[in-house]
Amino acid sequence: MNHDEQNNPPKKIGRLGFLTKGATTIAGAALASAVPAAAAGDTNPFAPRSPGMDELGETVIAHPYGMPIKYEASVIRRNVPFLTATEESSVSFTPLQDLDGIITPNGLCFVRDHGGTPIIDPAEHRLMIDGLVDRPLVFTMEELKRYPSESHIHFTECPANGGMEWRGAQLQSLQFTHGMVHCCEWTGVKLSVLMKEAGVKPQAKWMLAEGADAAAMTRSIPVWKALDDVMVVWSQNGERLRASNGYPVRLIVPGWQGNVNVKWLRRLKFGEEPWMTREETSKYTDLLADGKARQFAWIIETKSVITSPCPENPMKGKGFTEVTGLAWSGRGKIKRVDVSTDGGINWHPAKLQEPILSKCLTRFRFPWEWHGTDALLQSRAVDETGYVQPTLTQLRAVRGTNAIYNDNAIQTWHVNPDGKVDNVQVS
Amino acid sequence: MFKFPKATIPLLLVVALAGAFVIADAQSYPSHYGFGTPATVAQQKAWNDDVNGLTGAGLPPGHGSVADGQNLYEAKCAVCHGDFGEGENRYPVLAGGNGTLTSARPVKTVGSYWPYAPTLYDYIRRAMPFNAPGSLTNDQVYAISAYVLNLNNLVPANAVLDAKTLAAIKMPNRNGFINEHLKPDVHAVACMTNCKKSVTITSNLARTLGITPNETGSTPDERIITGSGPSADAGSSAAPAGGSAKHVASAPVAFSQIEPIVAQRCAVCHAAHPTEAGFSSAPMGIMLDTPARIAALASRIKQQAVTSHTMPIGNMTGMTDNERALLGKWIDQGAKIH
């Protein structure tokens, strides 16, 4: 299928994506497709009083902890049952298609567990710091929370996000192609403060972080990163961590692959060598075409995706459509996002929504006039280091198709004339 | 604007400076806090159970033989990982896979992929068996490690492993890893116009492949409707006697009715050796070619072929609605194969 002839909207669209008056008339005349015209409007009878006006509502304490209204009940995490052998060592995905802004509500943060979610009484939880330190220490949660705290907004992404798509477009869903990412405001103590308390010895070059789950998750982290910006956190988005996100305390390793952000943190051990745990050798390593594997590829490279339209958010009608999405980089701030409507032949700068923070999701928006014809939507992010998000072809040229992890390729959504949106891959 | 009489200004400054001094003292962060309790030697010993894969440091005293490991493995591991480490369903394959790392379908096992033998000990001890982590003794972990290495032809059948012998094993893929990766390995350029001559869709299977979980029968909306609306079970005094459909006995479905359906509609692809053209191995590794495998995957069959019609893909094998209903009934009755 050749899109060269069909997809050259830049020729018809002005710099800001708005059609000229003449072009609008032409587009308005071609109403043969199944897409509802924007002008069709609301056909319900007009009620003199709005629903909700005629009787008293619920009391202010009807829901001591508020939950979303029933009309938003489809906004939930979902899983792909065939991906994993069990639902304990598995993943559920953030519904990015339903979220606005950059913050992920706590109840919708993707969950990647390796031995299920433990339910831990904070009174019984302890964090130990040992190994190459002058003063091995044990902390209760109350003691930890006495330390000075900081709050920072960071994304966390499982490096397997998009891992199903290396060989071809398989999942017809933004939630399943990109939903292993969330973005929260984390509150806790800088790890460097605790390291000073314990007196980490100069010969310590690596730190082992261990979780208190059934997988006793362990990952090695270099001391330079631990001293840089790693946090030991107990809150997300203003409230205590959710059990599935690490309650009562977890590690946040900004910009690095999710697996090293160890949840239910019970121990930090300092040593001279990496531990070469199962999760950093047999898993979370990128197998290349030549049979070698990239290990310790921790940094989440610059990535972006259009969250609307997408397979779950088909076109609402011809005419003005705001294309919006998210961009992120494990190396710092997002500098620019470009959008293409013709599969990457021509690109246009999108508008970045503030705040634009380091190692944090950034929202972008792009005004688009859709004619009701085939279009291939893409977004491409550039971060402050100048790294440009690659195409899948560029990524495959270096990594092959067996890597599973660290797929940060440009995503293509095929907008069909009937308004449906497909996950596709292009040349 | 309010103005102080000139004479009061020096006095106010003094007060302000004194106040600032006190506040600044209270606001400074100390260089040491002293929270937490020194970890005792006993506490450190109790929690310090990690083994370094690279060096074997932390491997405890004790030993275990391949022979003991086989018995333990068959009792505690084979149900998921298969008798020979071949992996049941989607559970990890432990053995084999040699020479596959450069193929289109690499099989990453302990023998073909793991770089360090002590990592195997560390992982089994901390996380296995999956449903009873931490339940194995140190000797049992040595024995099971020995058996898994034997399944991979890395130690002989009469081997007994301890800290020294395990750390001495050189794994075949020891040099298969490249680290670390702090600099980008892909270098793209942000071209803006006429970046390529044409665009071709190279993969558009997602829409028709049918593997994306759909919401049929399992949407939260439906759960909420049944959950908050009048329920047949709630308020049983008002319900007519025996009124709930749940209580109506349905005729038992025999496995003999089920087996041919699965064989014709599913196992043409989902088998160790698929008969359907174009399939060289079972899709997603899911095999439905023995009664035990069909029973083990019953809940997934229900989800894929009864609750939703995700499977068969595009209904290429022509599964009928009656067959789907029969499968559902059999699974609801406990998916019995005898």
For the beta carbon of residue A275, count every other beta carbon within 10 angstroms: 30
Q: Do A345 and B194 touch (CB under 8 A)?
A: yes
Q: Do B43 and A138 touch (CB under 8 A)?
A: yes
Residue B25 pLDDT > 60, yes or no? no
For B36, which of A137, A277, A395 is closest by C-beta distance?
A: A137
Question: Has residue A23 been placed in a domain?
Answer: no
Q: What is the pLDDT confidence band of residue B271, given thresholds at 50, 70 and 90?
A: confident
Quick: pLDDT tens for A60-74.
999 999 999 999 999
Clarify whether residues A288 and A303 are in a common domain: no
Q: What is the pLDDT confidence band of residue B293, given thresholds at 50, 70 and 90?
A: confident
From B136, B168, B200, the end of a domain falls on B168
Tokens of B107: 């099989």
Residue B316 pLDDT > 80, yes or no? no
From B168, B186, B212, the end of a domain falls on B168
Clarify whether residues B255 and B163 are in a common domain: no
Which pLDDT value is given to residue B332? 84
Chain A residues with CB inside 8 Å of B98's CB? none
The more confident residue out of B179 and B125 is: B125
CATH of the domain at A389: 2.60.40.650
For B44, which of A136, A171, A382 is closest by C-beta distance?
A: A136
Q: Considering only alpha carbons, which residue of chain A is nearest residue B88?
A: A85
Clarify whether residues A305 and A335 are in a common domain: yes
> Across residues B176-186, what is the average pLDDT?
92
Query: A231-256: buried (b, 16+ CB within 10 Å) or exposed (e) per residue?
Result: bbbbbbbeebbbebbbbbbbbbbbbb
Structural domains in chain A (count): 2
Residue A4 pLDDT > 50, yes or no? no
Q: How many CB pairs under 8 A join A and B?
A: 290
A118 CB-near residues (< 8 Å, 6+ apart): A212, A213, A214, A243, A264
Chain B residues with CB inside 8 Å of A208's CB? 50
Q: Is A77 exposed, middle or buried (0-12, 13-18, 19+ CB in 10 A)?
A: middle
Residue B93 pLDDT > 70, yes or no? yes
Question: Has residue B244 been placed in a domain?
Answer: no
Residue A82 pLDDT > 60, yes or no? yes
Q: Check if A422 contacts B (Cβ < 8 Å).
A: yes
Q: Do A171 and B211 touch (CB under 8 A)?
A: yes
Q: How far apart are CA B321 and CA B318, in angstroms?
A: 10
Q: Is B206 within 8 Å of A359 (Cβ atoms)?
A: no
Chain B residues with CB inside 8 Å of A70's CB? 224, 228
Clarify whether residues B265 and B162 are in a common domain: no
Q: Do B122 and A376 touch (CB under 8 A)?
A: no
Q: What residue spans of chain B are helical by DSSP H?
A: 9-27, 41-47, 66-76, 78-81, 117-127, 138-151, 163-168, 206-209, 220-228, 255-265, 291-296, 298-301, 321-332
Question: Has residue A101 been placed in a domain?
Answer: no
Percent of the residues in chain A that have a pLDDT greater than 90, as a whole number: 87
Structural domain boundaries, residue B274: 251-338
**Max avg pLDDT among B24-38, B156-170, B202-216, B310-324:** B156-170
The more confident residue out of B127 and A17 is: B127
Q: Do A214 and B54 touch (CB under 8 A)?
A: no
> Across residues B121-131, what is the average pLDDT?
97
Question: Has residue A190 been placed in a domain?
Answer: yes
Clarify whether residues A322 and A287 are in a common domain: no
Q: How far apart are CA A307 and CA A330, in angstroms?
A: 20
Q: Is A148 within 8 Å of A382 (Cβ atoms)?
A: no
Instruction: Show which of residues 319-338 on chain A sit within 8 Å of chain B, judged by CB atoms.
Output: 336, 338
Residue B54 pLDDT > 60, yes or no? yes
Instruction: Show which of residues 224-263 on chain A sit within 8 Å of chain B, judged by CB atoms.
Output: none
> Across residues B242-261, what is the average pLDDT?
59
Clarify whether residues A254 and A350 are in a common domain: no
Quick: pLDDT tens for B103-118.
999 999 999 999 999 9
Which pLDDT value is given to residue B90? 86
- How close does chain A come to B226, measured CA to CA in Å? 13
Residue B216 pLDDT > 50, yes or no? no
Clarify whether residues A318 and A215 are in a common domain: no
Which pLDDT value is given to residue A27? 36
For A136, which of B39, B185, B304 is closest by C-beta distance?
A: B39
Q: Do B52 and A273 touch (CB under 8 A)?
A: yes
From B144, B168, B192, the end of a domain falls on B168
Which amino acid type is present at position A120?
Answer: I
Which pLDDT value is given to residue B214? 76
Which amino acid type is present at position B112?
Answer: S
Which pLDDT value is given to residue B260? 79
Structural domain boundaries, residue A401: 299-424
The position carrying tokens 């609306």 is: B229
Of A5-14, A110-119, A367-376, the poorest mean pLDDT is in: A5-14
Clarify whether residues A170 and A283 are in a common domain: yes
B interface test, pick of A77, A82, A113, A137 with most B CB neighbours within 10 Å: A82
Q: Do A136 and B201 touch (CB under 8 A)?
A: no
Residue A34 pLDDT > 50, yes or no? no
- How close does chain B come to A358, measured CA to CA in Å? 17
Q: What is the pLDDT confidence band of residue A56, given thresholds at 50, 70 and 90?
A: very high
Counts for chain B of helices (H) and strands (E), in that order:
13, 5
Which pLDDT value is given to residue A226? 98
- How close does chain B come to A255, measured CA to CA in Å? 12
Which pLDDT value is given to residue A47? 86
B interface test, pick of A147, A310, A426 with most B CB neighbours within 10 Å: A426
Residue A329 pLDDT > 80, yes or no? yes
Chain A residues with CB inside 8 Å of B120's CB? 278
Clarify whether residues B53 and B162 are in a common domain: yes
From A294, A311, A342, the end of a domain falls on A294
Q: Considering only alpha carbons, which residue of chain A is nearest residue B110?
A: A282
Which pLDDT value is given to residue B18? 47
Clarify whether residues A288 and A155 are in a common domain: yes
Question: Has residue A121 been placed in a domain?
Answer: yes
Chain A residues with CB inside 8 Å of B192's CB? 338, 346-348
Clarify whether residues B56 and B155 are in a common domain: yes
Which pLDDT value is given to residue A3? 41
Clarify whether residues A222 and A251 are in a common domain: yes
Question: Has residue B285 been placed in a domain?
Answer: yes
Chain B residues with CB inside 8 Å of A168's CB? 202-203, 205
Of A1-10, B177-186, B190-199, B264-273, the poorest mean pLDDT is in: A1-10
> Across residues A5-15, what is the average pLDDT?
36
Clarify whether residues A360 and A278 are in a common domain: no
Which pLDDT value is given to residue A33? 44
Structural domains in chain B (count): 2
Which pLDDT value is given to residue B209? 82
Which pLDDT value is given to residue B322? 76
How many angstroms separate the Cα of A332 from the Cα of each of A63, A108, A229, A405, B195?
Answer: 40, 24, 12, 20, 27
B interface test, pick of A5, A70, A129, A138 with most B CB neighbours within 10 Å: A138
Q: What is the pLDDT confidence band of residue B3, given thresholds at 50, 70 and 90?
A: low
Question: Has residue A9 been placed in a domain?
Answer: no
From A294, A316, A333, the end of a domain falls on A294
Q: Is A226 within 8 Å of A245 (Cβ atoms)?
A: no
Question: Has residue A89 been placed in a domain?
Answer: no
> Across residues A229-249, what is the average pLDDT?
98
Clarify whether residues A270 and A402 are in a common domain: no
Clarify whether residues A134 and A233 are in a common domain: yes
Residue B242 pLDDT > 50, yes or no? no
Residue A11 pLDDT > 60, yes or no? no
Query: B15-30: buried (b, 16+ CB within 10 Å) or exposed (e) per residue?
Result: eeeeeeeeeeeeeeee
Of A43-52, A127-136, A411-420, the poorest mean pLDDT is in: A43-52
Question: Has residue A285 been placed in a domain?
Answer: yes
| Longest pairwise C-alpha distance within chain B | 106
Tokens of B326: 């029969």
Question: Has residue B267 been placed in a domain?
Answer: yes
Average pLDDT, chain A: 92
Residue A30 pLDDT > 70, yes or no? no
Clarify whether residues A281 and A369 are in a common domain: no
Residue A177 pLDDT > 90, yes or no? yes
Chain A residues with CB inside 8 Å of B44's CB? 128, 130, 136
CATH of the domain at A210: 3.90.420.10
How far out from the chain centre does Cα B38 lie? 37
> Across residues B247-260, what is the average pLDDT?
69
Q: What is the pLDDT confidence band of residue A45, given thresholds at 50, 70 and 90?
A: confident
Question: Has residue B145 been placed in a domain?
Answer: yes
Quick: pLDDT tens for A126-163.
999 999 999 999 999 999 999 999 999 999 999 999 99
Q: What is the pLDDT confidence band of residue B328, given thresholds at 50, 70 and 90?
A: confident
Residue A371 pLDDT > 60, yes or no? yes
Question: Has residue A316 been placed in a domain?
Answer: yes
- How close does chain A come to B208, measured CA to CA in Å? 9
> Across residues A48-57, what is the average pLDDT?
93
Q: Considering only alpha carbons, which residue of chain B is nearest residue A299?
A: B182
Residue A300 pLDDT > 60, yes or no? yes
For the beta carbon of residue A16, count every other beta carbon within 10 angstroms: 11
Question: Has residue B96 been placed in a domain?
Answer: yes
Which pLDDT value is given to residue A204? 98
Residue A13 pLDDT > 70, yes or no? no
Q: Three-class SS string for chain A?
A: CECCCCCCHHHHCCCCCCCCHHHHHHHHHCCCCCCCCHHHCCCCCCCCCCCCCCCCCCCCCCCCCCCCCHHHCCCCCEECHHHCCCCCCEEEECCHHHCCCCCCCHHHCCEEECCCCCCCCCCCCEEEEEECECCCEEEEHHHHCCCCCEEEEEEEECCCCCHHHCCCCCCCCHHHHHCCEEEEEEEEEEHHHHHHHHCECCCCCEEEEEECCCCCCEEEEEHHHHHHCCEEEEEECCEECCHHHCCCCEEECCCECHHHCCCCEEEEEEECCCCCCHHHCCCCCEECCCCCEECCCCECCCEEEEEECECCECCCCCEEEEEEEEEECCCCCEEEEEEECECCCCCEECEECCCCCCCCCEEEEEEEEECCCCEEEEEEEEECCCCECCCHHHHHHHHCCCCCCCCCCCCEEEECCCCCEEEEEEC
The full DSSP string for B252-286 is PPPHHHHHHHHHHHTTTTSSSS--STT-SS-GGG-
Q: What is the pLDDT confidence band of residue A419, given thresholds at 50, 70 and 90?
A: very high
Average pLDDT, chain B: 81
Which pLDDT value is given to residue A405? 97
From A230, A262, A294, the end of a domain falls on A294
